[in-house]
Amino acid sequence: MPAPNPAALDFLLTRRSRPAKTLGLPVPDRDALAPILTAAVRSPDHGKLEPWRFLVLEQGAMPRLAALAEARAIALGGDAEKIAKGRGQYDAGKLAVVVIASPKPSEKIPALEQTLSAGAVCLALLNAAEAAGWGANWLSGWPSHDRAFMAEAFGLEPQEFVAGIIHIGTETAMAPDRPRPDINRLTTWVSA
């Protein structure tokens, strides 16, 4: 019989992201962030390729990234809404961890599995931040899918991409929970 961990299961059953706009100061310092990052890299990593890396955006980097997102939106002919959405998370951001998917050449481990591993790191990072008592939110936004923005803002190599941007801080307002999926509608049991 397995040994249950009711506290961990209860955390997973009740955890929820905090809206990034409700995250304020203080944010974790480097010492407080270290165990959160350590927990995140315990994600499944088939072949031990480490097909991801972290870029920690501290508050001082946010104005540069907001301006870069705005400039890129203008260069793309974006309207006011696109500009605002591009700037938004950086204007409001206090600390964020960019999880960069960095697939490695491998004959044994498909690129898709490496991408899924980067997504698992994002969720593990989100959960670890919340388990450590911080509010957290996994965002992306159009700039994180724009090759020119990613290269200039984050120094990404051509094969790399942003898997997610995890904003971490102190929750300043309690947001209501959202409706959750109907497990019975989404589950098929196969017995034979």
**Residue found by looking up tokens 């996994």 in the block:** 138
pLDDT of residue 178: 86
Under the banding of pLDDT at 50, 70 and 90, the label for residue 6 is very high
Sequence length of the chain is 192
List residues forming the annotated binding site.
15-17, 42, 46, 138-140
Are 57 and 96 contacting, i.e. CB atoms less than 8 angstroms apart?
yes
118-127 pLDDT per residue, tens:
999 999 999 9
Are 110 and 46 contacting, i.e. CB atoms less than 8 angstroms apart?
no
Sign of CA dihedral 8, 12, 14, 17: positive
Q: What CA–CA distance (Å, rounded) separates 56 from 35? A: 14
List residues forming the annotated binding site for FMN.
15-17, 42, 46, 138-140
Are 91 and 59 contacting, i.e. CB atoms less than 8 angstroms apart?
no
51-95 pLDDT per residue, tens:
999 999 999 999 999 999 999 999 999 999 999 999 999 999 999
User: What are the residue boundaries of the structural domains of the chain, listed by start?
Assistant: 17-59+93-172
**For the whole model, what pTM was predicted?**
0.94
Q: What is the percent of the chain where pLDDT is above 90? A: 89
**Tally of CA atoms within 13 A in the half-sphere of 104 that contains its CB:** 15
**Class of domain 17-59+93-172 (CATH, top level):** alpha beta
